[in-house]
Amino acid sequence: MTTITIKPPPEEEKTAFRKQLEAAVSGKHSQVSPFSLAWSQGLLSKDHFAFWVAQHLHYVGHFSEWLGAMFADCPHKDARDFLLQNMWEEEMGTPHTELLIRFGEACGWSRERILSTPALPSTDGLRYWCENLAKSHDFLGAAAALIVGLESQTPGIYTRQLPPLREKYGFTDEETIFFEVHIVSDVIHGERGYQIVEKYATTPEQQEHCLNLVHKATEMRWSYMDGLYRELVRQYGELAAPPAGSNGAQVGDDITHLTGI
Here the CATH number for the domain that contains residue 157 is 1.20.910.10
Whether residue 67 lies inside any domain: the answer is yes
Whether residue 192 lies inside any domain: the answer is yes
Distance CA 86, CA 81 (A): 9
The pLDDT assigned to 254 comes to 35
pLDDT digits (tens, 9 = 90+) for 128-165: 999 999 999 999 999 999 999 999 998 889 999 999 99
Structural domain of residue 184, as residue ranges? 28-258
Whether residue 7 lies inside any domain: the answer is no
Closest by CA to 125, choosing from 44, 14, 219, 39, is: 219
The pLDDT assigned to 135 comes to 95
Distance CA 32, CA 55 (A): 19
The pLDDT assigned to 239 comes to 61
Distance CA 192, CA 8 (A): 9
pLDDT band with cut points at 50, 70 and 90 for residue 119: very high
Neighbours of 185 (CB within 10 A): 17
> What's the rounded mean pLDDT across residues 246-257?
36
pLDDT digits (tens, 9 = 90+) for 17-65: 999 999 999 999 999 999 999 999 999 999 999 999 999 999 999 999 9
Distance CA 100, CA 221 (A): 18
Eight-class DSSP state of 38: H
Whether residue 15 lies inside any domain: the answer is no
Distance CA 224, CA 41 (A): 20
Distance CA 146, CA 131 (A): 10
Domain total in the chain: 1
Question: At residue 135, what are phi and psi to the nearest 5 degrees?
Answer: -100, 15
pLDDT digits (tens, 9 = 90+) for 193-243: 999 999 999 999 999 999 999 999 999 999 999 999 999 888 877 665 443
Whether residue 19 lies inside any domain: the answer is no
Whether residue 11 lies inside any domain: the answer is no
Distance CA 118, CA 135 (A): 24
Q: In degrees to the nearest 10, what's the CA dihedral of 33, 260, 54, 68?
A: -40
Whether residue 21 lies inside any domain: the answer is no
